[in-house]
A and B are shown apart, each in its own frame.
Chain A
Amino acid sequence: MSDDTRDSETEGLEGKQVSDGRSHGAEERRRVHDLWVAGTEEPDWVATATDEGAQEMLPRELDPGLAAQRGVTVVDDYGEPTGLRSDELQILNMGPQHPATHGVLRLQLELDGETILRSKPIIGYLHTGMEKTAETLSYMQGGTNVTRMDYLSPFHNELCFSLVVEQLLDVDIPPRAQAIRILMTELNRVASHLIWLATFGLDIGALSMMLYGWRERESVLDFFEKVTGLRMNHNYIRPGGVAADLPDGWETDVEGILEVVRTGLGDYEAMLNENPIFVDRTQGVGIITPAEAQAYGVTGVNARATGLDYDVRKAFPYSGIEQYEFDVPVGQHGDTFDRYLLRMEEIRQSLRIAEQVIETMPPGDYRATDRKVTPPPRRRIDESMEALIHHFKIFTAGFDVPAGEVYQAVESPRGELGMYLVSKGGPKPWRLHVRAPSFATVQALPVMMSGQLIADVIATLASVDPVLGDVDR
């Protein structure tokens, strides 16, 4: 904390014995978060911080907010002092156990009354070292690891991982496998946006929206369960193709989803679009400008809501997505309401892609026939010594991937999900870095929230759709 803040603190407590942490040495200094028992020596209360180290809000003069970058990148009112005395400011902790933080995100909010001056996202509560784990797992096992990162869009994680490995492997993926991948990821986008809609509704008080969103999402998850055996964390898309072919009658199932979700979308829009409470709570709330979004690396719906026309599916097409017709909706205000509209439209476009996949699903293999990469069909193992050896090698040693460094991105429901893979040969990655879309979004939250009221924090946070498993990895 800064000197002047501390001085003003001590002035306010004249006549009392207030210990100065620095003059008495660090060992005597009481920690703010420690319990203070009445009647004992009074602790060294710190008004501008609720913790220390990485969790302390920076003094204003050191704050890395946009004020420091003025003229270089972005012009914004973020972090501007308002001429208030420091004892009029208040720090409010929100989370990590707050139900509206969608996991374990902690926000430190510096408040003037109910207005937010500055905020600081504190992350890491869900960090499980997945990038380190990835270095210890073979490429065959890697899918089980990455699928758990962004747990609302597991297929996108798997697809990104498979694509980045395949870039180095240089295997040809059969058209059917590519179409299945597109079908599953686009349906996953629908499921993810539906759960976003449900939790968003819950957070801003549209409780019925929560029930509808979860209900419709269930129809998609049922299909996932039928195809992959699991509702989440499927490990279905693997390097070389997918784990299994689609079950018989999958077209009927997908058509069922199309109908259920399309009907639902109409209902939601009838309920929300003209709803004065919903509109009041979302329009003009949580605004981010295109320049800010770019400088902060915000991608996906959150960037497109500002008017930026960047979609990885269009800019850097993957897995044959360029064969399908779909539009990328773009907003103009960069606020919460635009993000809502865009996600609704994205659901429609994803359904449109799924519909085209039903019509054009090519026949053929669902995975590459390179037996060094994908296991042989089960029935061949009983007949062929070669098949048995390949099967054994793949599931014990794994397959080798040539040395190289590659970056691959896919458009996850939250934005650009990228993976940077460094291979030095051998069956395990040397390094796998994940460029998580939520990570960049959470970082930009202070820009969206400054100058707003506390109640808008909930709406803003929910509207950018952060997944903390994705942020912390």
Chain B
Amino acid sequence: MAASGGEVADDPILDAVVAVAASAKVTVTTAGPVQVVVEVGREDYPALVEAARAGGFETFIDLCAVDHLAREPRFDVVVNLLSTQHTRRLLIKVGVPNEDPSLPSISMVYPGANFYERETWDMFGIVFDGHPDLTRLLMPDEWDGHPLRKDYRIGSVPVEFKATR
């Protein structure tokens, strides 16, 4: 187990999650009583999510991305899971580089991730490999660019909907 920090050792819930993904490079950032934040590499991410589901985090709460622009890797995808049984949140952070903005889809593990991944693709241009229907969700189909990226210029886009063509 590559989990860092001694505080994790006494934490059976977290142990169960991290242990399944034994080979995974999982870094525990904070392990509070109500919320655990872990960081994981892109290749270990699906295994960790499946382990989390098996480890009792049965409720899918949220998936969103953050564009750090100058940082490497540029994007963070944050998955927010909840265990109602243990009253605990698990936040999984995955770095996504700008050159290859893609991540395995978890919508087969949590069907609730479907819309959230579509929204993240729509807003950040992060491709979720294996997603059954990765199309724009909130913006019109033929929209150019991904609005929540930090280098997206506000108010500079010619708006033309398909009905006017």
Contacts and interface: CB of A to CB of B under 8 A. Distances in A.
A316 B34 contact: yes
Contact of A433 (B35, B64, B108, B137): B64
Contact of A435 (B58, B80, B108, B139): B80
Contacts of A309: 84
A315 interface: yes
A473 B148 CA distance: 13
A444 B59 CA distance: 13
Nearest to B163: A33
Interface residues of A, number: 52
Interface stretch (B4-12, B16-24, B40-48, B109-117): B109-117
B14 interface: no
B112 A58 contact: no
Contact of A69 (B60, B89, B108, B138): B108
Interface in A58-111: 58, 62-64, 66, 68-69, 72-74
B25 interface: no
Interface in A310-363: 310, 315-316
Given A31-B162, A55-B141, A315-B87, 14 more contacts: A54-B135, A62-B133, A63-B132, A73-B110, A124-B138, A131-B148, A132-B147, A294-B59, A294-B60, A297-B61, A297-B112, A299-B59, A407-B80, A433-B64
A123 B78 CA distance: 23
A472 interface: yes
B91 interface: yes
A129 interface: yes
B111 A433 contact: no
Interface residues of B, number: 41
Contacts of A219: none
A407 B138 contact: no
A52 B84 contact: no
A72 B108 contact: yes
Interface in A106-164: 123-124, 127, 129, 131-132, 136
Interface string A293-307: 011111100000000
Contacts of B67: 431
